[in-house]
Amino acid sequence: MDQSVAIQETLEKEENCITAVQCDILFDKITESRLLGLVESAKEHAIFIYTHRRMAITADDVSLEDIIPVSLDFAIVEVSSPEELAVVGADTRVRVSYRDEELELRLPFGSNSRLFLSEVNRAWSEVCKSPIQKPKFEWINKYTNAIRGHGVVKQTIAPLGIRNIKLNQHLETEKSLDKKGDLERENGSNSGTQKSRVYSSVESRGIPNRDDRDDLVRSSSHTPSNKAQILTMPQFGLRDNLIRCELLKNEELYTYLENYSFFLGTYNVNGQTPKESLRPWLSCTLDPPDIYCVGFQELDLSKEAFFFNDTPKELEWMQAVSEALHPDAKYALVKLVRLVGIMLIFYVKKEHAEFISDVEAETVGTGIMGRMGNKGAVAIRFRFHHSDICVVNSHLAAHIEEYERRNQDYKDICSRLQFRQLDPTQPPFTIMKHNVVLWIGDLNYRISDLDVDDVKELISKKDFETLHSFDQLKRQIDKEAVFDGFVEGEIHFQPTYKYDTGSDMWDTSEKCRVPAWCDRILWKGKNIKQKHYQSHMALKTSDHKPVSSVLVIGIKRINGETYKKTFEEIVRNIDKMENECIPSVTLSKREFDFKDVKFMQHQAETLSLFNDGQVPCQFEFIQKPNESTYCKPWLTANPPKGFIAQGGSVDIELEVFVNCSTAPELNLGKQQIEEILVLHLERGKDYFISVTGNYLPSCYGTSIHLLCQLREPIQDMPQETLRELAEMSGDENAENSEKPLDIPKELWMMVDHLFRNAVKQEDIFQQPGLRSELAEIMDCLDTGIPDSLPGSNHSVAEALLLFLDALPEPVVPYCFYQQCLESCSSASQCERVISMLPQCHQNVFNYLAAFLRELLKNSASNRLDVNILATTFASLLLRSPTKQDFAEKRKTREFFQHFLTQGSS
């Protein structure tokens, strides 16, 4: 995920975040996660260091902690131990120095880190080329002043301004450079315990220099096994794209299959710490597997883990896994990725390490409003020899009746989890764009239509075939609702959930859960055979039992001799092409009309391009004059650029999606669903594509003041009337024949529904609703049909949160935001600020606060508390007009908490 977007939101208009990377800062044996952004302004560069919570999506998720100018006093050195250098997938440790200050960082292996390092070194090189023209960095003063004002630096990481660690003599030697601008790689002795290097100009282009690495690592020369990867680099153009395309088409000529064993394991540990050896699970095979992919769920159930994504249990369980790997082989840790309690660890036999490349990791949360990470997935993709593999570990929605929510979680993970390519101009990889997909986790599908006694009787008879016919996952796969094309082995073990912790006894609690196969392993791809699929009853730490599967997978390897011949033949054929040929394509259609576009409801149509010319072609949607992007923000083309071989074709999805930022002007008719796309062929002509549609106005993205003027559903109102009423809202002297409503009727309908049906609903405002039900609720609010709201309580609750999030002006208008922060410690001052709000905003605030106080009266049933509600609602009711750091977030929560206590009026 591109986290530079979150950083960009914190910057002024004249500053630009070129690239960003998440990393760990190493300080005094303490490791803490940070987000680094390379920021440019007037050809000067600086590294901005941010604290963050979870995956940084918006400015609200990050807080600026320090700034390091990229000047002549700056240096960056890679520092790795011999053990770390042994694995291609190992993280990269770098030491950043500025004057007498020093910072050691660990960057995750992958193209994102390589891109960041190459851009930093490019900026550094530019400074060194002109040592006389010293950068002034006046533009960073406004940020450094803000840092001092907020004082957000933790004691575990000292701010750069007070770090006094002197660079050791070795580093001083390493960072020496020619003042005229030549960065020279040092050839000194590496006899110590660490190896260091300054990045050379070659490395700054994104091709790592691996001379220091030992024999376990593949050389960076153009060997047959990595030529295909070299061709994906950005500097290769049309000719090389054609070579790559032809190589892929003729892959069977120079590749062969070789079998490797993959151990897949999944374990929901219920927030426990390791209390027993994991060897019965991880070393259950006679022969050591070639690769381990081990997934955990519910690693930590604490609120700290949920809100801050930090947990000591990560290290504890990683150590437990490391000690339990098969004793007859040596393994190297390639990658670990975690989202709250969902963790995936990837090990490989050391003799295979040199054949692992292109390692990337990503996460996606599917909790409420699609952001919280208590449910979701983590994934690792990598290339093994010539096969692309993706491993997904997911934890889907709980509760027996929520199978549709689990289906939606699966679809969200598939669509939203994407891996960035080495070439940032190329579209990202999705899960399904891999030769092999391995999916593990607590999928949470249950057994339906049988009571607990019937289930236990079938288990006692070991009649797993009959029991499996009642399994929700099997039924959903049979309906092709989820996991289309995936395979699961036959289940010959008893359900893995729910047991009394520390025993093999089924759940004896008051809820007495029906046993179920929650923990599953599936795969998709060719040349895959399963050797075993089993649970491990010997482990009793959790209320789940771990599950394992060993798959033997045919991996594509390259025959160097035939590869060379194929490559040379392709080049000869390309040389015969006549360069004069002009590329051309045929379009399936040039006009697209989207009917009844609705808020937050995706629509897509397919544009097919057929290359009817005599040569291959490259296409790209380009900007029109005086426009910054190729299309309006509610429209995207996927892919926006690409390559088509002669006689080939490509399908482009034209997608329309109206969100909180684009809805306000569309609701009032100030913008229309109208756009002209310009499709450009390299060395060819341009094609013009018309996109039109009719947008149905929504209460979502409409102001509180305007909604209070509407007694009829918004879609029954002419857009001209909506515009006139919206203009009247800014004129206090304007006469209105009708008295406005106290609060928007749409808000009343949602709150009233929840008040009557959901005050005792468990996990209300914490569990997401169903997408299909959200769409029905929005339609009901916008059309008035039907009279009462459809959908579950959770769906109505999420619809309410989305309504508040979509308001163009929040409940507490932006102009009152600073007063709220200043008043947060005094309940009377807070109430005074609310009394100053415009009447309709004041009414909405008090109405919501009263409703939430009613919810808190039933906290024993709904499991809510003041902190949960304040955290959820304060960020929606009191939105910052610019950027909100952690200190401001705490103040907004404190402000709103005054209105949630029983004493509030």
Residue 545 shares a structural domain with residue 567:
no
What count of other Cβ atoms lies within 10 Å of the Cβ of residue 29?
6
Phi, psi of 265 (to 5 degrees): -135, 145
User: In angstroms, rounded to a whole number, what is the distance separating the alpha carbons of residues 604 and 602?
Assistant: 7
- The alpha carbon of residue 753 and the mean position of all alpha carbons in its chain are separated, in whole angstroms, by 33
Residue 544 shares a structural domain with residue 616:
no
Closest CA to 784 of 836, 737, 746, 744: 746
Residues 6+ apart with CB under 8 A from 576: none
3-state secondary structure 298-354: CCCCCHHHHHHCCCCHHHHHHHHHHHHCCCCCCEEEEEEEEECCEEEEEEEEHHHHH
Compute CA distances 356 → 218, 265, 359, 484, whole Å.
9, 20, 8, 28
Average pLDDT, stretch 452-461? 96
Q: What is the predicted pLDDT for the residue at 552?
A: 98
User: In angstroms, rounded to a whole number, what is the distance separating the alpha carbons of residues 680 and 28?
Assistant: 54
Residue 574 shares a structural domain with residue 640:
no
Overall domain count for the chain = 5
| Helix/strand/coil percentages in the chain, nearest 5 | 30, 25, 40
Residue 544 shares a structural domain with residue 577:
no
User: In angstroms, rounded to a whole number, what is the distance separating the alpha carbons of residues 498 and 830?
Assistant: 47
Radius of gyration from C-alpha coordinates of the chain = 29
SS3 829: helix
Report the CATH number that the domain containing residue 622 is assigned in CATH: 2.60.40.10
Q: Dihedral (C-alpha) 478, 484, 490, 491: value to the nearest 10 degrees?
A: -80
Residue 304 shares a structural domain with residue 353:
yes
Q: What is the predicted pLDDT for the residue at 885?
A: 77
Domain membership flag for residue 164: no
Phi, psi of 643 (to 5 degrees): -130, 135
Q: Which of 695, 710, 734 is the last residue of a domain?
A: 695
Q: What is the predicted pLDDT for the residue at 730?
A: 52
Whole domain around residue 604: which residue ranges?
Answer: 585-695
Closest CA to 473 of 410, 555, 391, 560: 410
Residue 39 shares a structural domain with residue 136:
yes
Residues 6+ apart with CB under 8 A from 279: 324
Report the CATH number that the domain containing residue 462 is assigned in CATH: 3.60.10.10
Amino acid of residue 479? K
Residue 553 shares a structural domain with residue 621:
no
Residue 524 shares a structural domain with residue 552:
yes
Residue 668 shares a structural domain with residue 553:
no
Tell me the percentage of the chain whose pLDDT exceeds 90: 58
Amino acid of residue 882? T
Domain membership flag for residue 574: yes
Residues 6+ apart with CB under 8 A from 456: 506, 515
Q: What is the predicted pLDDT for the residue at 371?
A: 64
Phi, psi of 711 (to 5 degrees): -95, -15
Residue 552 shares a structural domain with residue 575:
no
Residue 119 shares a structural domain with residue 31:
yes
Most confident of 40-54, 202-216, 218-232, 679-693: 679-693
Statement: residue 107 has pLDDT above 90: no
Question: Which pLDDT band, with edges at 50, 70 and 90, does 579 fall under?
Answer: low
Strand partners, 439: 392, 522
SS3 469: coil
Higher per-residue pLDDT: 763 or 759: 759
Domain membership flag for residue 883: yes
Strands 387-395 and 436-442, sheet pairing: parallel
Strands 342-349 and 429-430, sheet pairing: unpaired
Q: What is the predicted pLDDT for the residue at 497?
A: 97
Average pLDDT for the chain:
84
User: What token pair was written down for 118?
Assistant: 């190459």
Q: Where are the alpha helices (DSSP H) in 87-159?
A: 111-129, 141-150
User: In angstroms, rounded to a whole number, what is the distance separating the alpha carbons of residues 229 and 635?
Assistant: 32
What count of other Cβ atoms lies within 10 Å of the Cβ of residue 45?
23
Domain membership flag for residue 189: no
SS3 27: strand
Contact 314, 295 (CB under 8 A): no
Q: Give tens-digit pLDDT for 846-873.
A: 999 999 999 999 999 998 999 889 989 9
Look at the block and give the residue holding tokens 């940084």: 56
Q: What is the predicted pLDDT for the residue at 255?
A: 94
Report the CATH number that the domain containing residue 879 is assigned in CATH: 1.10.555.10
Question: What is the CB-side half-sphere exposure of residue 672 using CA atoms within 13 A?
Answer: 9
Residue 348 shares a structural domain with residue 473:
yes
Amino acid of residue 509? S
Domain membership flag for residue 775: no
SS3 895: helix
Domain membership flag for residue 234: no
Sheet strands (E) in 673-786 = 673-681, 686-695
Domain membership flag for residue 822: yes
Residues 6+ apart with CB under 8 A from 452: 512, 513, 514, 515
Domain membership flag for residue 760: no
User: In angstroms, rounded to a whole number, what is the distance separating the alpha carbons of residues 734 and 705?
Assistant: 13
Contact 702, 714 (CB under 8 A): yes
Residues 6+ apart with CB under 8 A from 626: none
pTM value is 0.70
User: In angstroms, rounded to a whole number, what is the distance separating the alpha carbons of residues 557 and 384?
Assistant: 9
Q: What is the predicted pLDDT for the residue at 285?
A: 96
Statement: residue 548 has pLDDT above 60: yes
Q: Which of 128, 143, 158 is the last residue of a domain?
A: 143
